[in-house]
């Protein structure tokens, strides 16, 4: 019996366990009800009385050793810092948890893609603008309401500086520095001094478009916008409602027919089926003149839309503020979008 126990003890010294499954089989082999250790204890009754104590102690040391081995290996294989990956270099790497693009970027990229494919380029400009590029060059008379302190954030240091209220300012910069034909879209962040609510925020994002060439007409504007709405929303019924912008003449607002198929459709279209999507118009000749473009020879159209509004429509987002909170539970929903 003693010899048998000694053999087990030397075996235990050499034991090699590779993973948790090995640990479990080892446990079953030695200390489960029908394992080696309980079996040895049951044999104890046949051991002569004078040796009983010694043999009992030996079996106990086997049991102790087994428990030590089990807890040691369990810790090794379950702990994060396990060096098991060094032992098995063929193991696949752990998955990296990928982040997701922000819905504003997703929608912005979708819009950019549509226009890049039909020959537009991308132009960008500063968020801190001067009065000329944000207002004056765009034919905004000095006392126009859009210049009111309530809508515009002015910089204290220099009242000529402000946070741009639209990316039309980028279009002015682009016209100043380029000759027609011009086909450009200007995506970017804009700022307005508005109360924050479910529907409005003091900054948001826009994409504005501009096309200047010889003989550009309202028909080109309508066709371009029709192409855009088909591509982005898959909707092909649009209407242009007369509107007013200081920098376009005539000006219009584009509505798309969204439909009235669900309760949500009724809610977002206020029961009409129509949704207002963007502002547009033919560039006012004064704006061309301000940028030293010959308004007799060239004409053009412009349009501007808010990305947040489109994202809210496409993803049925009820409150604009969710777009700025960076709550991972919200953002993770866009994992599969590009
Ligand atoms: N700049 C306008 C706005 O911010 C949008 C617009 C752009 C309208 C171009 C007409 C033409 O609301």
Return the HEC string of the chain.
CHHHHHHHHHHHHHCCCCCHHHHHHHHHHHHCCCCHHHHHHHHHHHCCHHHHHHHHHHHHHHHHHHHHHHHHHHHHHHCCCCCHHHHCCCCCCCCCCCCCCCHHHHHHHHHHHHHHHCCCEECCCCCEEEHHHHCHHHCCCCCCHHHCCCCCCECCCCCCEEECCCCHHHHHHHHHHCCCCEEEEEEEEEECCCCCCCCCCCEEEEEEEEEEEECCCHHHHHHHHHHHHHHHHCCCCEEEEEEEECCEEEEEEEEEECCCCCHHHHHHCCCCCEEEEEEEEEECHHHHHHCCCCCCCEEEEEEEEEHHHHHHHHHCCCCHHHHCCCCHHHHHHHCCCC
Atom of ligand 1 nearest to the CA of 210: 9
Our CA angle for 180, 181, 182, nearest 5°, is 85
How many Å lie between the centroid of ligand 1 and the Cα of residue 117? 22
Distance from C-alpha of 338 to C-alpha of 329, rounded to nearest angstrom:
18
Q: List the strands of the sheet with 248-257, edge to edge.
A: 121-122, 182-191, 203-214, 298-306, 274-283, 248-257, 238-245
CA-nearest residue for atom 10, ligand 1, is: 280
Closest CA to 298 of 227, 210, 224: 210
- By most ligand atoms within 8 Å of CB, the mutation choice from 302, 305, 309 for ligand 1 is 302
Mutate which of 300, 304, 310 for ligand 1? The one with the most ligand atoms within 8 Å of its CB, which is 304
Segments of the chain scoring below 70 in pLDDT: 79-87, 146, 149-150, 336-338
Residue 159: alpha-carbon gap to chain centroid: 36
pTM above 0.75, yes or no: no
CA–CA separation, 328 vs 84, rounded Å?
A: 32
Residue 255, ligand 1, Cβ within 6 A: no
Evaluate: CB of 191 within 6 angstroms of ligand 1: no
pLDDT of residue 338: 61
Task: Please give the pLDDT value at position 239.
Answer: 97
Q: 248 CB under 6 A from ligand 1?
A: yes
Residue nearest to atom 5 of ligand 1 (CA): 304
168 lines ligand 1 (CB under 6 A): yes
pLDDT tens for 243-275 read 999 999 999 999 999 999 999 889 889 999 999
The pLDDT assigned to 146 comes to 65
Ligand 1 atom nearest 251 alpha carbon: 10
Task: Evaluate: CB of 302 within 6 angstroms of ligand 1.
Answer: yes
What pLDDT is attached to residue 279?
97
pLDDT given for residue 306 in this prediction: 96
Distance between Cα 247 and ligand 1 center (Å): 8
Residue 86 is predicted with a pLDDT of 62
pLDDT of residue 93: 81
Q: What are phi and psi of 183, to 5 degrees?
A: -135, 105
CA of 335 relative to ligand 1 center, distance in Å:
32
Q: Whose CA is nearest to atom 4 of ligand 1?
A: 166
């Amino acid at each position: 019996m003693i010899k048998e126990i000694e053999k087990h003890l030397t075996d235990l010294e050499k034991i090699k366990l590779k993973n948790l499954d090995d640990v479990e089989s080892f446990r079953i082999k030695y200390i489960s009800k029908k394992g080696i250790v309980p079996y040895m204890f049951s044999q104890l009754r046949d051991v002569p009385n004078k040796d009983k104590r010694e043999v009992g102690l030996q079996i106990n040391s086997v049991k102790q050793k087994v428990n030590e081995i089990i807890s040691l290996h369990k810790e090794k294989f379950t702990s994060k810092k396990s060096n098991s990956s060094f032992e098995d270099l063929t193991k696949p790497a752990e998955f990296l948890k990928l982040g997701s693009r922000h819905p504003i970027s997703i929608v912005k990229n979708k819009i950019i893609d549509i226009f890049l494919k039909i020959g537009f380029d991308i132009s960008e400009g500063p968020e801190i603008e001067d009065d000329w590029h944000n207002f004056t060059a765009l034919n905004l008379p000095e006392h126009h309401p859009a210049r009111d302190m309530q809508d515009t954030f002015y910089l204290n240091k220099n009242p000529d500086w402000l946070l741009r209220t639209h990316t039309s300012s980028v279009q002015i910069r682009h016209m100043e520095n380029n000759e027609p034909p011009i086909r450009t879209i200007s995506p970017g962040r804009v700022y307005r001094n508005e109360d924050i609510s479910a529907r409005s925020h003091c900054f948001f994002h826009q994409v504005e478009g501009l096309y200047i060439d010889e003989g550009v007409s309202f028909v080109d504007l309508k066709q371009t916008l029709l192409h855009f709405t088909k591509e982005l929303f898959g909707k092909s019924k649009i209407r242009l409602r007369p509107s007013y912008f200081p920098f376009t003449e005539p000006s219009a607002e584009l509505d798309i027919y969204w439909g009235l198929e669900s309760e949500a459709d009724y809610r977002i279209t206020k029961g009409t089926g129509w949704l207002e999507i963007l502002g547009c118009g033919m560039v006012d000749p004064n704006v061309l003149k301000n940028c030293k473009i010959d308004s007799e020879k060239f004409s053009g159209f412009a349009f501007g839309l808010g990305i947040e509004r489109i994202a809210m429509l496409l993803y049925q987002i009820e409150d604009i503020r969710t777009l700025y909170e960076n709550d991972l539970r919200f953002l993770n929903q866009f994992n599969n979008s590009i």
